[in-house]
Structure 1
Amino acid sequence: MSYEVKLSVYEGPLDLLLHLIKRLEIDIYDIPMKELTSQYVEHIETMSILQLDELGEYLVLAATLIEIKSKMLLPVHEELEEVAEEEEDPRESLVERLLRYEQYKKAALQLEASYEEERQHFAKLPTVMEAVEEEETFNVFDLVTAFQNMLKKQVKQEPKKARVGRSSVTVEEAVAHVLAKLERHDGACRFDELFETYDRSQLVMTFFAILHLMRDRQVRATQQRNFDEVYIEKR
């Protein structure tokens, strides 16, 4: 099974880290390393199941997070407490990287916006403009989180005995299944309701089908607020 997923909005591990910081409403200058590292590691474990992009660079950052977390957990002797306070916070270099990356990303978006604005200044024959829908605010990292939560529910509900067979479901068949399920639910249903099997490969193919439909703008994912249920609905 091979299905490459690459979304241009998210370019690597620092994007994932910034996404988690925003989602968990963490102060970037006072990062709780235990919570952030745990969330990050869970996320890349799920990404490895889904085979989303190359995980090498994500694992490198995971090692960095674990190292920082370990340094912060080391006990400080009473006599050395004053010296420790004067030493550099182990999170400082990470915060600097994140802030610098965020600045570069904002600058890149501003340059892109300027380029698009300049393009409008060239004279051209009038053309019929199609209505443009709003950009999706939901992103692939949110969807991976929803898949991760669904897997946790599956583990609790999975029968003790299950017959294991080879799965031959294609993305096209999974797409048809998702659309049929949405039709039966008046065009919208909870994300986890689209997964009706305990077979891991079929679960993955259903996830890819949802991404495929989102890419083609046939469906969209919605969530009222952080940690709420995710819904998939037809456009």
Structure 2
Amino acid sequence: MKIEIWSDFACPFCYIGKHHLEQAIGSRTDIEVEFKSFELDPQTAIHHDENIHELIAKKYGMSYEQAYENNQRIIQMAAEAGLTFNFDQMKTTNTFNAHRLTQFAKTKGKGNEFAEAALHEYFSNGAFLNDETTLLSIATSVGLAEQEVLEVIRSETYDTEVRNDEEQARQLDITSVPFFLIDGKYAVSGAQPVTAFQSVLAQVDEKNQREKPIILNTDESVPHCDDDHCAIL
């Protein structure tokens, strides 16, 4: 089973939904998870003078107090998922460079590890995801080579890979994240609870079992090929 997750580093529900999915997967080793790039606001500035509460209030046309209370509810939801969110230290920024580094990390088999580390640093530790030193520290913490990471940060490499993920999202009519696509045909949207993910995985398992080829003849004495050789018996 393969699960593709369209997600953004600025999306708190993406991090929560990711952890809910991981809890639903548990110790299963037959599921491949791939992080896909999605920018909620590609035009957002790298630096902001306002804090996250002020930005949310301005964006959604609410009072500072309403924005603060809403963020407190998200913090509680994160805590229930086993995560620690620190909105007061959060440094809102453009996430394109973090997405580029994720695409690079995927080529080294470290895409999910980098995404997890970056989300943790952003939401829990107030990391600024457009600082070269910070991005380098996150990348090397998951085993990526320092010089290669610096070359990616200081260039425009992996721009195309980010845009390809976003174009695929447009083709699939994905307008909000997190968005989970299972085996290319089963979709789940939003930070669903663990039980919902467990139910979905069970349903997909059942469908995959039903869709296996039906063997009508088990006579292995006829010509066939296996891992070792091809034989005429």
Specify which structure has the higher proportion of helix. Answer: 1
Confirm or deny a common fold (TM above 0.5).
Answer: no
Kindly indicate whether structure 1 or structure 2 has the higher relative contact order, using CA contacts under 8 Å at least 6 residues apart: 2
Query: TM-score, normalised on structure 1?
Result: 0.23
> Which has a greater percent of strand?
2
